[in-house]
Structure 1
């Protein structure tokens, strides 16, 4: 019997339309036409034509000359992040943060202000449009420079449509056409997601770019998670992935949650729940900020309450660690500002309840980007849409 040895096939050349070719340049590293032709397997004339199209669009710029191996040194080309700008919008229950960024995305102009989401979509989105236009001017850019808008909302969002879906703290926003309203004001694509997902994007891209799998947990008025797996945000079928706060917590079956169920993690361990419990003990606490202030002032009862909230969150996160096996769990939101008490409680339970294989390299830390995570993530979402291969090809054809 003759043994037949099958030789492995050589890797197929990467497809290299102008949009796909551009993806090779997004890392900012200058490359020559010859290098790009070698990577893609395309003819140098084809690569040259596509580089010319990207140069004309301003997305790529000459970046000097490469070292010569004889003859005239070849010209290198690199991504030009200043070609366009995007507007990132992070809307919370009582605040708003906006930023105009380039395509890196580097912040060019930003603005924070108190804002009541309960005022409804007409008032809030009109304010966003007016403030965004002022920020463009402050950044020295005009309306024609704006390529896209990214928006984060403090409630469930159907990502495909960008419409809020029965958001509990956003009266009047259910099924509001946020992309249509803002798109009509700015004349560009508008991407919308829930606030925790955009915080996960911002934290991952800014602080953990080398981590493939990350879980971002926001502990504030509610509790939610943004899931980054294989460097991509996992949204689920309707955009509802990561709704950690409404997972049932063992032993809390008697506690009513605002969602209508009982025993939800959010009803026991959110900043609102901790503040309510401390207030019932006679302490001056009605908000998460009040809880943080008490902990920082050395109040033992507040510190113990936050530590217990961490343990409760850790109980639910332990199951998530077994299911998703992240490399890092990043804790953000107002309650994460109460020192190490919250994270210590989470670590205590997760490391005890999860398998050693899943936790041997697991880091559980507080967020590095702080309050800027949301607006940075909104910009990342807008930039990724604008710079996708399909979007670039469509723009060049137009």
Structure 2
């Protein structure tokens, strides 16, 4: 039960947390659930109604007398601006509080352009999408951004990102916040993809690993249904784990032997080009696989084995319930999954793989923008944040 708190505002956020499960409830039901006085529940409901966090449900509930009004979480109360910036392309969206995409746009956008040109494009695109949905900046509760490199979560600044020249230490939240007038949260792109996949497609999984195989390779970890970022936000950077098959291969990070240097989409594309099959990026590789190119299929399956070799150690160490493969290379489907499964099941403990699911992302390219929105929603709608907003 919730404890009584002093003041008319305290506890409104906790009441909203109950209603966010999607079920409409009457005052009497909320009194029973919380143990609070009916007058206290009514006071808190009035605060939430005044700020549009909740609305009366469409259907009144009757028990024989006068129908009781039920209240439900208002998904349309605010909107979130969400961006998933990859190494070579971007997806941007306006999303409501129920994670429904209201408008979105994709573009080829090399992250190596640098922070200011990239973020200027982002602000312009957000503005266009808001106009398209009929919303203004005053209705934006927050902005979520995913970047293709290490991000210090506390500050939202990229730290020594190997494929993002000019971004090191750039104050992304401050720069965007000044122009959009809203709270800005920034994280690694794989972390937000893991959040999105877990929220929308795998909410029942307590332990989940999301692996993005695109130009680079990264891993997002859901532990006990919460994103595990590590001490500074660097958890899951498996793309730069050393693998024996790449001992002499130079990676973009400057080291040799990194997983990304042999199994990333850029590495596979380069290897195909060397053999006389032109490919510029991971999308070209997937297109070749889909067209039945034998060399592309063989290289993709081998890339899956290389990734599986690293994931086998993670399976033994972390014991996830589900491994989800996303990113451009995941579009190659069973070819990459076959390589991943082959090594994981042969090199991991039988107990760890007994009920392990290994599958491709259900959200596909949208996992990042959904996850960035979830990051913002969970921050903005935490009980403490809601209490402050209704003050």
TM-score w.r.t. length of structure 1: 0.93
| 1:296–1:339 Cα contact (<8 Å) kept | no
Tell me the distance in 1 between the aligned counterparts of 2:246 and 2:276. Answer: 23
Aligned-residue RMSD, C-alpha: 1.5
2:370 paired with 1:376: yes
- Matched pairs, number: 385
Cα deviation 1:244-286 (Å, max 9, x = unaligned): 1111213432222222322211111111111222222222123
2:195 is matched with: 201
Q: How does 1:53-132 map to 2 (within 5 A)?
A: 53-63=47-57, 64-68=59-63, 70-132=64-126
1:232 is matched with: 226
What are structure 1's unaligned runs of at least 5 residues? 1-11
Q: How does 1:270-281 map to 2 (within 5 A)?
A: 270-281=264-275
2:24 paired with 1:30: yes
Q: How far apart are 1:14 and its partner, in Å?
A: 5.9
| 1:88–1:375 Cα contact (<8 Å) kept | yes
Cα deviation 1:208-254 (Å, max 9, x = unaligned): 12222211100111100011111111111111111011112134322
Partner of 1:96, secondary structure, is strand
Which of 149, 172, 177 pairs up with 1:155?
149
Q: How far apart are 1:333 and its partner, in Å?
A: 1.1
Tell me the distance in 2 between the aligned counterparts of 1:299 and 1:24. Answer: 53
What are structure 2's unaligned runs of at least 5 residues? 5-9
Which of 282, 293, 317 pairs up with 2:311?
317
385-394 or 182-191, which deviates more: 385-394
Tell me the distance in 1 between the aligned counterparts of 2:103 and 2:66. Answer: 42
Q: How far apart are 1:44 and its partner, in Å?
A: 1.8
2:356 paired with 1:365: no
1:7 is matched with: none
Tell me the distance in 1 between the aligned counterparts of 2:350 and 2:37. Answer: 50
Q: How far apart are 1:352 and its partner, in Å?
A: 1.4
| 2:163–2:252 Cα contact (<8 Å) kept | no
Q: How does 1:184-195 map to 2 (within 5 A)?
A: 184-195=178-189
Which of 124, 130, 134 pairs up with 2:128?
134
2:336 paired with 1:345: no
TM-score w.r.t. length of structure 2: 0.95
Q: How far apart are 1:13 and its partner, in Å?
A: 4.3
Q: How far apart are 1:383 and its partner, in Å?
A: 1.5
Q: How far apart are 1:67 and its partner, in Å?
A: 3.4
2:182 paired with 1:212: no
Partner of 1:45, secondary structure, is helix
2:290 is matched with: 296
